[in-house]
Every structure is written in C-alpha cells, then in structure tokens.
Structure 1
Amino acid sequence: MQRRTRAVALAAAATLAGAGVTACGGGSGSASGDKTITYWATNQSTSLDADKKILQPEIDKFTKQTGVKVKLEVIPSADLLNRILAATTSGKGPDVLNIGNTWSASLQATGAFVDWDKELMAKVGGESRFLPAALKSTGATGQDPASLPLYTSAYELFYNKKLFEAAKISSPPKSWNEFVSTARKLTKDTDGDGKADQWGLGLQGASPSFAAHFAFILGTQHGAKVFSDHTPKFDEAGMVDGIDQWLSWIGKDGIVNPSDAETTDKVALLKNFASGKAGMILAQSSTGLTLGQYDMTTDDYGVAPVPAQDSPAAGAKDIGSFVGGINVAIFRNTGNLDGATQFVKFLTSAKEQVILNKVYGTMPSVTDAKDPAFDTPTLAVARETLTSRAVPLPQIAEEAQFETLVGQAMSSFAAQTATGKQPGKARIKSEMAAANQKLEAGS
C-alpha cells in the first residue's frame, strides 16, 4: 500500500509539473561533516535577483548566529516542482526547500521529506505556535507534518476605487449576482470605437493553477466535495456548476476581455488592473504589496472578501478561499539535519516571520509574529477569510492531479469560450468524468 501511495504521489506530481502548474538540475545535500546547507527558495517577488537581495542578508544573520553556512538558490515558480521531483528521484536535493502548500500531501507520499514529529516540532517552538489554518496544509490528515508554514495567504477581491466612483458604484459586491452586475457597469467603450476597452474583471484564463483554484472555491460553494476519500468527484453537479460559473464570466456574462483567456502571466493581469483596463481582479493577498510597484496605493484600490453564492446549495460550504501559502521542508537525505532544523527554526521565528512576510506582503504563519504592517486592509480581509471562510485543498496524494487535470481542462474551455463557443454543462460534465478516469487509471 505504501509503495502504491508513493507511485500515485510521483505520478500526480509529475503530471502537475509537466503541465507547468505552479504553486504556488538537482542540488546536492550537505556532505557529512560539512556545516554548509543548501536552501531552495521560491521566487516570491518581482525577480530572482530581488529575492536574493531580500533573503541573503537574513541568511548572513543566521550564519553569524549559528556558524551554519547556507547556499541559497532561488527557483522560478514554474520550475520548482520539476526540480523537486528530480531531487526525490535522484536522492540529490537541497537540505531545506520551499514548496507550494497545496503539494504537501502529494510530496509527503514520496517519502523524500523529514516528518515533523513531536520531538522535532519542539525544536521550533511546538505546534501551538503556528496558525491552525496554515498547519492544516502541511501534509496528509492524521500524519505528522512533512513541512511547516512559512508564508500564508488567501484569495480576495481587489477593486479599482476610481473606476467604481466613475460608475457610481458605492461598495464592492458581496454576492456573485452583485459581482456580475457590478462588472457589467465597469465594462465600457471608453474611446468611442464601438468596442469595450475597459472590463469589469481581469482574469488569468490560461493559467491551469488559477483555474483549478477557482474550480475548488466555486465548486465547494456549490456543494462539491472534489474527492470522496481518494476517489475523484470532478463530475459532481457542484463542480460542473462552479466551472460553468467561471466560464460564464468570459462568455455569456461578457465581463472579461476575451484575450484574458490567453493570459498566464500575473504581471500582465496586474498591469491591466493598475492601468484601469480592468475594474476588479481575484487574487491572493500578497497582491496588495505588488500593486505598489505599479504606483497603486490603498487610495487607488480597495479589498473585499471573495463573494458568496446567492442561493447556496444544500450542504454547501461558504468559502472564499483555500488556505494558500508557501511551506518549508527538510529533505530526508540531508547530511546536516541539525543545521537544517536550526535554519527552519530561524525562518519560522517571530522576528524573521515579521521581516519576511512584511517584504512579501503575506501573513506570518506563527501567532507570535506581531507588527502594524499586518494590520493593512488587505491582510485584515485575508485574516478574516482564513479564520472563517477558508479550507485547505484536499491533503491527499491525488490532489496534484486535480490541479492539472481540472486546471488544464478549464483553460481549454476558456479558450473556446473566448471565441464565442462556451461549453455547456453536459460537455463540462463529460470532460470532468474523463478526468476522473484518468486519475483513477494513474495517467
């Protein structure tokens, strides 16, 4: 059974990596007796160089405190999972690495990560230090965590205040019907050429990961369970309704620029929002800090929770996000477990959590990290969402295949919808049934 689970995990993660889904050459573990450890960090800011400039001074502090040297490599998000898989296969990986928290259970099942049992957890201050919501996305339910939360985020609605004022919209929408109505008021022909050039909503329609995120959020709002134990339920009515709702924003609702069906790059999305070409976007909380790089302040944009369904299905959960974020893990093949553990303790210390999450615009994953920077409107909405309207993506090995199979199908649907051929619910259900079969066949 353990061997089969590991095979499922590797197949799932490999499929996800092959699809280029992001979360969010192999290195080599430290040689025995060598205090140097290798750290693979995720690209969190606008460039790899920017991340190096942020992280290297903190690493230098750690080395000065402990004597443990750290070789830093910042990995592009699109390459991260492929690099991790190569390391789990070859046994030659870093000592410490960041992972997208939605991959936690899939990667845990490979057996490549150190488990954070009670003894090891005590070395970083104990389980009670971490946000309960974030700790739920660290590995399979009922098992010791295979990673620890580092940066925490949630989806929220960002809106352009100036465009709202010009359209005489007094407040952000709370329900999806209000959302569509608001977006239609924001969709305009501003240059008089007979074609809309300002849109109600900006979307990353060609990003499988973004699409899969909203399949989960909207599907759950419609009552879908996504998985029953380890059995996929992608063709459930709730999932079909959620996917149809997402496609309708591009199609029958007419609130998204059809060219957004080809958008994968978040930078392009944010530039359109900052320039007034889109009145609203749905994005994770770190977006608030990034918008400052496009000369937008909280005078220019507002934030609100992700809207809710107007008529929830019986038994449906009112969620606004999954528990988003980046985790930190230790490879089992490390030659310096003590040094690696000290480094994770450093990264998750209250002081470093304040420093790193402030610069990345995310929320600390520990309860003892306090700073006024985390009281911004953006993070207040994220905190509220994580407290009452967020659940983790399924913490099972098969989760990775959900992201790629459903995400790829939705991106393909978006491309069709942009040409005026929005798939009906019967077609969506058929494609989701095929995705179920692919997952169960291990393909």
Structure 2
Amino acid sequence: MKNKKARFIAVFLIIAALALSACSSGSSDSKSDDKTIKVWTMSPALKDFAKKYTKESGVKVEVQSIPWDSAHDKLLTAVASGKGPDVLQIGNTWVSEFAEAGTFLDLSKYIDDYDNLNPDNFYDSAIETTKYDGKTIGIPWYVDTRALFYRTDILADVGYPKGPETWDDMIDASKKLAARGKDQYAIDLPATDPQFPFMLAWEFGWNYDIDKGVDNFKEQSFKDAIALHHLFYKEGYSQTGKGKEFFQSFSDGSKPMFISGPWDIKTINDRAPEIKGKWDVRLMPKQENNKSMMGGAHLAVFHNSKKVDQALDFINWMADPETQVDWYKTNSELPANKKAWDDPVLADDPKISTFGEQLESTQALPLIPEYERMGQDLIDTLEQINRGGVDIDSALKDYQSKEEKVLKD
C-alpha cells in the first residue's frame, strides 16, 4: 500500500514539474461556462445518449470515451496533475485504489439533495462498492453479475431440465454429461476470470476479512472451493485448455453449460440461432448459498471539479429509473436502480429477469487496492493445480506466501 502511494506521488511530481499550471487550474476549462460539464467514460454510447440530458436541462455534456485498457493510466495521470473531468466512470474493482489516492469528491453530504441518489434505490452490494474509508465515492450506474447458461434439451437428458440447483446436482449432471463420449464435457468454467474462484469461496461460506490479511486464504472453506474447482478438471467435466469458442461448443452440445454475464444472451441469440428454444439461464448453483459477484460501474465527481452541482444533477438524471431503462435499451447494461426492473422490457424477459433475481444474491468484491493482483495470482495458482499437477495444499501455501508479500507492499 505504501508503494502505491509512492507511485502516485512520483507521477504527481513529474507532471507538476512539466506543467505546474495544470495543478491549480481545476478539473474544468476555466473558459467554459456553467452550461457545460466534462464526462470521462469507457462506454462510447454515452456520447449520443447524453444529448437527451442536454435537451432536457440545457447543459452540454462533453463526453470523452476512453478504452478500458488505457483508462487506468489516464485516471492516474489526472490524479497526479489535478486536471480531470467533472464526472468520471469508475469500475467497482478500481474504487479502493483511486479512492486512496484522493480521486473522488466525497458525496455523502450531497445525497439527500437528490431523489435518485438515495442508497435505498440500489442493490446493497452495489452500494458497498461506493463506500471507502467512511466516504461515498460515487453512485451506481449499471451493474452486472454471473449466472448459469445451460442447454435445456441436453440437461433434460441427464435428469436436470431446469438446470442444476446445487453444486451436488452440478457434479452429478457433469458426470453423466462427460460420460457421453470423446470430447464431451459438462461445463466451460471461466478459467481466466479472477472473480470466479472468489465466488465459489463465497458459496462455501467464506468471506474476506481485511483485518485477517493472508490468514483468509488458510480457511477450510476457501480450500474447499479450490478443491471443487479442481474436481471439474481432474474428472474431465471441464476441458483443460482453450478448445472451441464457447458459443460453438454450446451450440454443438459438447459443453452444454457455461457461467457468464447477461451480454452473452445476445451473443447466443446472434451466433447460435439454431438452438433457439433449447437453452436458458438459471441462478448460480447453491452450496451454503448461491452468491454471485456484483460487477458494474459507478459515476463519480472528480475531487476538484468546479461544477459539483451540475455534475450531480447529471448523475441524478443518469440514476433515474426511466433513464436507467433507456440506457439498458441503448447499451444492454443492467440497471443499478432496482425500480427500473419493474419495466416490462426487463421484467417480461425471463432470461434478463433471472439476472435481476441473481443480483439480489450477490456480494461485493474485497475493497482493497491489492484485489486485482490477488485475483490474477489466484488464476495462476489454479493453473498450476489444474494443468500443472501441483498439489492443492502446496499450491495454496505458495499462494499465501505470495499474497503476504503483496499485502506488505
């Protein structure tokens, strides 16, 4: 954590030396008037979408779209220079890192002034990811989670027409599916998603306690989740290695299940129309619970914006249930405002409404700056176990040693 702060300070000093005036100019161009705000986003569709707000309010929204792969560095530079937008999008796994660096205006004292910013409007686990060190750093914009996609026809053949409800059901169904013959598997597990193993651990009753540090990874419930993950590769229920693209193996039935987010509803409809009516989405299988991850993004105000009122009015508009439904229609990103889910476009779509139900059983990822590093290290550890043949106990011991160093840094 000290190293992270040092990195931010170093970048700040370099940029300050090159452009001292940038540090005092604030986030908005001093020549712009109160009728213009600047927004940074990783969602290109917002540029045209925000014109609706301009039409309603008279405030022009200058939207700059930033690719996800360069957004982290651009935000880092903005923090160091003190020159950023009025409103910025922040992925919820980046909250702790940038909050620690002082990126965001604390919105706590403003929330009561805007009807749509009330925390009760949003999913609890989404609100959890807007809090850091007693401050509110943003407002949920859109959310996502993970659920189980499955072939109804093929799962019916092995006794699970509505999909496996528990992980015991999943193991039983997987055994039967893998027994169909060569190159036949049960499920395409998300092998490169660092959030998935944490989800499994939550379902075994595990929780990350910040005060415990690396000792969290010594708990039996965490080991049980890793053992379950390994079981699917050890028994041949999941393919070791990449194999076919997931939509191809889902279409031909060689991998009749996979775990993913709501965007893949459209992918399957577009790329595998031949299986229309032969697949569905259901809640995550249950162990002690069936918790999935709470993903998504927030809208925040840059810490030195000179247009706080205008920025908050825009965020309030974006958080309105009608706007949230309109944004879903535009960009297929799920509403964070729970009232939006009453709209027929969501409520009457059984696959999308399943994701709405799963959002009620979600958990926030650990709000620590080291999270993404921990997740990637865990993926590497699972690779050693599942493909490298390393013993689970040995691999986890090495993982714990590695994360102890990460936390000390």
TM range (shorter): 0.7 to 0.9
1:383 aligns with 2:356: yes
Do the aligned partners of residues 220 and 40 (structure 1) sit closer, same or farther apart at CA in structure 2, a change above 3 Å counting? same
- Rounded Cα–Cα distance in structure 2 between residues aligned with 1:390 and 1:89: 34
Q: Which of these residues, 118, 122, 135, is aligned with residue 127 of structure 2?
A: 135
Letter in 2 for 1:220: W
- Three-state SS of the structure 2 residue aligned to 1:368 is helix
* Alpha carbons of structure 1 residues 220 and 175: separation in structure 2 relative to 1, 3 Å: same
| 1:79 alignment partner in structure 2 | 70
Aligned partner letter, 2:372: E
Secondary structure at the counterpart of residue 340 of structure 1: helix
Does the Cα contact within 8 Å between 1:186 and 1:200 map onto a contact in 2? yes
Equivalent position SS for 2:339: coil
Name the CA shift for 1:257/1:359 in 2 (closer, same or farther; >3 Å). farther
1:114-133 equivalences under 5 Å are: 114-127=105-118, 128-133=120-125
Aligned to 1:366: 337
Q: Once the 2 structures are TM-superposed, how far is the Cα of residue 274 of structure 1 from its aligned partner?
A: 4.4
Cα gap change, 1:113 to 1:214, in 2 (>3 Å): same
Could you report, residue by residue, the CA deviation over 1:123-149 in whole angstroms, capped at 9, with x for unpaired residues?
A: 3534133333422221226x2310111
Aligned-pair identity (%): 24
- Alignment pair present for 1:65 and 2:48: no
Alignment size in residue pairs: 386
Show structure 1 runs of 5+ residues with no match. 12-27, 44-51, 313-317
Pair 1:292 & 2:292 matched: no
Counterpart of 1:303? 281
TM-score, scaled relative to structure 2: 0.82
Structure 2 SS opposite 1:231: helix
Query: Which residue does 1:404 correspond to in 2?
Result: 373
Give the match for residue 223 of structure 2.
240
Partners of 1:32 and 1:336 within 8 A in 2: no
| More displaced 10-residue stretch of structure 1: 278-287 or 146-155 | 278-287
- SS of alignment partner, residue 83 of structure 2: coil
> How far did 1:270 drift?
4.3
Q: Is the 8 A contact 2:85 2:305 kept in 1?
A: yes
Rounded Cα–Cα distance in structure 1 between residues aligned with 2:330 and 2:174: 32
- Tell whether the 8 Å contact from 1:29 to 1:37 is kept in structure 2 after alignment: no
Counterpart in the other structure of 2:19? none
In 2, are the aligned partners of 1:124 and 1:348 still within 8 Å (CA)?
no
Q: Is contact 1:150–1:326 with CA below 8 Å preserved after alignment?
A: yes
Distance 1:438 1:411 in 2: 17
2:232 to 249, 267, 272: 249
Name the CA shift for 1:279/1:149 in 2 (closer, same or farther; >3 Å). same
Distance 1:87 1:304, change over 3 A: same
Distance 1:333 1:32, change over 3 A: same
Choose which of 383, 402, 407 in structure 2 pairs with 1:435: 402
**Deviation of 1:6 (Å):** 7.6
**Residues 132-281 of structure 1 correspond to what in structure 2 (within 5 A)?**
132-140=124-132, 143-165=134-156, 169-187=160-178, 195-196=182-183, 198-205=184-191, 207=192, 210-211=193-194, 213-229=195-211, 231-232=213-214, 233-250=216-233, 252-260=234-242, 268-270=245-247, 272-274=249-251, 276-281=253-258
Q: Secondary structure at the match of 1:226?
A: coil
Give yes or no for contact 2:384–2:395 (8 Å, CA) kept in 1: no
Task: Using the TM superposition, give the Cα deviation of residue 246 of structure 1 relative to its aligned residue in structure 2, in angstroms.
Answer: 1.7
Q: Is the 8 A contact 1:30 1:335 kept in 2?
A: yes
Further displaced range: 67-76 or 106-115 = 67-76
Q: Structure 2: any 5+ residue segments left out of the alignment?
A: 10-25
Query: Which amino acid in structure 2 is aligned with residue 283 of structure 1?
Result: S
The TM-score normalised by the length of structure 1 is 0.77
Residue 41 of structure 1 is matched in structure 2 by 41
C-alpha displacement of 1:110: 1.7
2-side partners of 1:434 and 1:115: how far apart?
36
CA shift at 1:293, angstroms?
2.9
- Residues 118, 172 of structure 1: alpha-carbon distance in 2 compared, 3 angstrom cutoff: same
Q: Does 1:30 align with 2:28?
A: yes
CA contact (8 A) 1:244 1:424 kept: no
Runs of 4+ in 1 over 6 A off after TM superposition: 8-11
8 A Cα contact 2:91 2:297, kept in partner: yes
1:292-316 CA deviation, whole Å, 9 max, x = no partner?
A: 332458623211111122xx5xxxx
The code of the aligned residue for 1:382 comes to F
Residue matched to 1:344: 315
RMSD (Å), alpha carbons: 3.1
- Partners of 1:277 and 1:37 lie apart in 2 by 51
SS at match of 1:113: coil
Mapped partners of 2:69, 2:264: distance in 1: 18
- Give the conservation status (yes or no) of the 8 Å contact 1:243–1:410: no
Distance 2:222 2:154 in 1: 32
Deviation track 1:380-408 (CA, whole Å, cap 9, x = no partner) reads 33333332x3222233xx2x413322x22
For 1:303, the aligned partner's letter is V
SS at the partner of 2:256? Answer: strand
Aligned-partner SS, 1:102: coil
Go from structure 1 to structure 2 and tell me whether the alpha carbon gap of 1:290 and 1:343 turns closer, same or farther (over 3 Å shift).
farther
Q: CA deviation at 1:355?
A: 0.9
CA offset digits 1:336-373 (Å, max 9, x no partner): 32332222122112221011123444432224323112
Deviation at 1:157, TM superposition (A): 0.8
1:138 partner amino acid:
T
CA contact (8 A) 1:37 1:339 kept: yes
Residue 7 in structure 1 maps to residue 5 in structure 2: yes
The Cα offsets for residues 26-55 of structure 1, whole Å up to 9 and x where unpaired, read as: xx9321241433322234xxxxxxxx3x43
